[in-house]
Structures are given as structure tokens and as C-alpha cells.
Amino acid sequence: MAGSSIEVTDVFRLHGAYWRQTQQGHLNLNQLKVMSAIERCRSAQLGGHKLHCQHCDTDVIAYNSCRNRHCPKCQAFAAKRWLDARQTQLLPMEYYHVVFTLPAAISQEHWQACKTSYFLPVKVLSRLFRRVFVEGLHQLFTDGSLLFYGELSGLSTPASFETWCAEQQNREWVVYAKRPFAGPEAVLTYLSLHASGGHREQSTVRP
């Protein structure tokens, strides 16, 4: 609505608990963490600090932000701060933009294949990424840090998880690499939108 002062934080604080209750079993841990972070953002729950104006002798309490990249209040500032810091590190040379993606069985999304004819053997890089990622999943499972929800709840037993991991090792994983059209500055702008918090697409800039 035009002129409305209602924010996402207000909606979550007013109706989040009820919505989580009605959607129980359909929300994963990351989604619940994001909601909790937004609800507590800039509130006494995250603490704060006191600002004092010596001119008018006035004290103001400023509550801390959640710094979650999904928070509407925090993501723009965090992205700009990260972008400003990375731009100072650019070197006067040619850059490549490399993007690693996950197969649909892990990411639940559809990925398009890319050309693999330059920079480095992309198929080798893809299989290396696959091995390292699955090994990381194994370690998380062994540590008890890997949680399963919804349609993936059947993977909670060691036998079913091992079978699933073997299936992922037999899939071709997608690795994307190309020269950025607008130079490394454009890549940094893109990465600044994905720099904080967990995101299934892991990107890096390499000279």
C-alpha cells in the first residue's frame, strides 16, 4: 500500500508464530533461522548501545541489527560494505567468473549446463567439487550436524544416507566459468548480493 509504514519485520512479529505453527513440517531449519533473525532485528533481544549527544545532552538507544542477508533492513548495507572492501582488492589484469552449482537432488532447482572449452578443464573441476562437497556432507552427517526435513527425512539413517551420497557421486555436477562481460567490477556487484549468509550457489573471482 502506498505510504504504508508496515515492514516485513512487523508482519513476522505479529503473525510469524501462528504461520510457523500452521506450516509445521514444511519449513526447514534455515528458513526458521531467517524468520527468527528478522523478528529480532534491531530489538532489545540482540542487545544495543547508547548514543549520547553532548550538544543537547540526549541519550538514544540503538539496537543491533541481525545482519542476515535475507533481512530487508540489513542486506543492502551489508552488500555495499562488502562491495566497497572487495573493489579495493582488484588487480589490473584479466579475471574469470567461476560459479559452482549443485545437482537438483541437493539444490531442488534446475541448472543449465555451460560451455567447458577454456580457462581450465571444467569437467575435472566439476568432479573435484563433487567429491569435496560430498565429503563435507559425510563429515556433517558424522558430526550430527546434518538435519533432514520433509521429503528428505528418509535420509536420516546411515544406510539411506550412504545410498543417496553414492547416487550423487554418479551424477554430473555443473561448473560454470566464463569471462565477465563487464569486467571484474560487475562480478563483484553480483557477488555482493550473495556474500553473506548461506547460499547454495558458491561463487569466486579468480585472476
What pLDDT, on a 0 to 100 scale, did the predictor assign at position 147? 84
Percent of the chain with pLDDT over 70: 80
Distance (Å) of CA 134 to CA 38, 72, 138, 177, 204: 31, 33, 6, 21, 20
Confidence category of residue 100, pLDDT binned at 50, 70, 90: confident
DSSP letters for 146-205: ----GGGGGGGSHHHHHHHHHHHHTSPPPEEEE--TT-HHHHHHHHHTSSSS--S-EEEE
pTM of this structure: 0.38
Confidence category of residue 139, pLDDT binned at 50, 70, 90: very high
Confidence category of residue 137, pLDDT binned at 50, 70, 90: very high
Q: What tens digit of pLDDT does each residue of 63-91 get?
A: 888 878 788 877 767 677 778 888 888 88
- What average pLDDT is seen over the chain? 78
Domain boundaries, the chain: 8-63, 75-206
Three-class DSSP category at 65: coil
**Rounded distance between C-alpha atoms, residue 151 and residue 137, angstroms:** 18
Confidence category of residue 159, pLDDT binned at 50, 70, 90: very high
Q: What tens digit of pLDDT does each residue of 175-204 get?
A: 877 766 677 777 787 777 665 444 434 433
Ramachandran area for residue 83 (φ above 0: left; ψ -120 to 50: alpha; else beta): alpha
Q: For residues 168 and 103, is the Cβ–Cβ distance under 8 A?
A: yes
Statement: residue 97 has pLDDT above 60:
yes
Statement: residue 5 has pLDDT above 60:
yes
Q: For residues 41 and 52, is the Cβ–Cβ distance under 8 A?
A: no
Statement: residue 168 has pLDDT above 70:
yes
